[in-house]
Amino acid sequence: MTPTIFTNARLIDPEKGTDTIGTLAIKDGLIAGPQGLDGATQIDCDGKCLAPGIVDIGVKVSEPGERHKESFRTAGLAAAAGGVTTIVTRPDTLPAIDTPEVLEFVRRRANEAAPVNVLPMAALTRSRDGREMAEIGFLLDAGAVAFTDCDRVIENPKVFSRCMSYAASLGALVVGHPQDPTLSAGAAATSGKFAALRGIPSVSPLAERMGLDRDISIVEMAGGRYHADQVTTIRAITRLRRAKEAGHDVTAGVSIHHLTLNELDVGDYRTFFKVKPPLRSEDDRVASVNAVASGLIDVISSMHTPQDEESKRLPFEEAASGAIGLETLLPASMRLYHARQMDLPTLWRALSLNPAKRFGLTSGRLTAGAPADLVLFDPDAPFVMDRFKLQSKSKNTPFDEARMEGRVLGTWVASHRIDVSPSPNS
């Protein structure tokens, strides 16, 4: 394969924290560096941004079980269309990915069908029931990159602490969902003026800190590497800071939806805005944005959760939770950039470098020798989102008809440009 050289590119380097015009060469699936290469194909970037491809943690691909909602192929195309070069998938499928055999199936399907890197997470307990540990060792050997029961919190602290200490002995990363499960049972919104007026069953934002408190206490007790999938409230952020200052091996993420939307967006019961945890107050949203900017929250992800029309076209309480986000992650993130809440290298630290590091990947960098997983994008190109033009099978985006800025011009995985046609929203 001939090398490629990107010239006149606005290079976004999250590792160095720089945003400069320059040149980048790639060869044999890896980044070669800023120097020119003989016989290289030249791509003139026209001053547009070239950044490491996004590493999206916690993507739900509905295979096996609900392929009508999303398949590896459609999720992979959606990822490529959104500048996401690596997806770390969730095990909350039907059945759950809790044995090496199911994991094997997932890896095979992913390799056949998805044009981007797919790294599967596996369930921490069998059937995600919170009772018996899954075969963490075998699953690790079979390629699981982390262990999580997703939004089903392991209620029994004894079970969770055993899982943590067993995982710790193997160096496995555990991804938790910080939430007090009994307090939040049945809730579809964050408690407060808005939810109470709408009459939606709601949960105090403190349930998140209670969950994080519990999980961090168990990390303290049992050891291990812990990542909180979503920290979205001021009070939980405070707790996260204390845990990091105390030196625990704890990191945290937040979904792009919690950074760009708040509880009022639900309006008159718009179920596309029903996510888990529920959208928060504006104060919590701003605090989350600041925590990402300061590096306290490590990772931004899409928490891509495909749902079909039937499961959303129901009364709010009964409607399914979750929103798709692979293709809207980048343009939605641009809202934070255009609002001057963070610069592009800071944004890419959370979108690409940090998740790669936490999951032991060498991607997320522009350094020579790193995988040539790249996204070329125009941060200023405006468009109006049309959900029916998205690559995902499910169209449950909260950004339908929203005015957005930031268009992906090209996505490369291991030096290969991914062809996504028909190209979305163009």
Partner 1 sequence: MSFRARHLLGIEHLAPAEITTVLDLADSYVELNRRDVKHDTALTGLTQINMFFENSTRTQASFELAGLRLGADVMNMNMQASSVKKGETLVDTALTLNAMHPDLLVVRHPNSGAVNLLAQKVNCAVLNAGDGRHEHPTQALLDALTIRRAKGRLHRLVIAICGDIAHSRVARSNIHLLGKMENRIRLVAPPTLMPSGAAEWGVEVCATMEEGLKDADVVMMLRLQKERMDGGFIPSEREYYHRFGLDAKKLSHAKPDAIVMHPGPMNRGVEIDSTIADDINRSVIQEQVEMGVAVRMAAMNLLARNLRAAREETGVMV
Interacting residues toward partner 1 by CB under 8 A = 186, 191-200, 202, 204, 268-269, 310, 313-318
Q: Minimum CB separation from partner 1 for residue 335, in Å? A: 27
CA atoms within 13 Å, Cβ hemisphere of 288:
27
Q: Token match 């096996």: residue?
A: 64
What lies within 8 Å, CB to CB, of 108 at 6+ separation is: none
Nearer to partner 1, 112 or 268 (CB): 268
Classified as helix, coil or strand, 348 is: helix
Nearer to partner 1, 205 or 345 (CB): 205
Nearer to partner 1, 155 or 310 (CB): 310
Q: Minimum CB separation from partner 1 for residue 394, in Å? A: 17
SS3 content of the chain, % helix, strand, coil (to 5): 30, 25, 45
Nearer to partner 1, 113 or 183 (CB): 183
Nearer to partner 1, 173 or 195 (CB): 195
Q: Minimum CB separation from partner 1 for residue 192, in Å? A: 4
The answer to whether 117 and 373 are in contact (CB under 8 A) is: yes
Nearer to partner 1, 90 or 209 (CB): 209
Distance between CA atoms of residues 124 and 116, nearest Å: 25
Q: Minimum CB separation from partner 1 for residue 204, in Å? A: 7
Nearer to partner 1, 158 or 313 (CB): 313
Task: Let me know if 123 is exposed, middle or buried by CB neighbors in 10 A (0-12, 13-18, 19+).
Answer: buried
The answer to whether 209 and 180 are in contact (CB under 8 A) is: no
Nearer to partner 1, 39 or 267 (CB): 267
| Residue 124 C-alpha from the chain's centroid | 19
Q: Minimum CB separation from partner 1 for residue 261, in Å? A: 18
Bridge partners, residue 120, by sequence:
89
Q: Minimum CB separation from partner 1 for residue 285, in Å? A: 17
Distance between CA atoms of residues 401 and 91, nearest Å: 31
Q: Minimum CB separation from partner 1 for residue 275, in Å? A: 16
Sheet containing 84-89: give its strands across: 54-59, 84-89, 117-120
10 Å Cβ neighbour count for 369? 10
What lies within 8 Å, CB to CB, of 12 at 6+ separation is: 18, 19, 49, 50, 51, 52, 344, 345, 348, 366
Q: Minimum CB separation from partner 1 for residue 309, in Å? A: 10
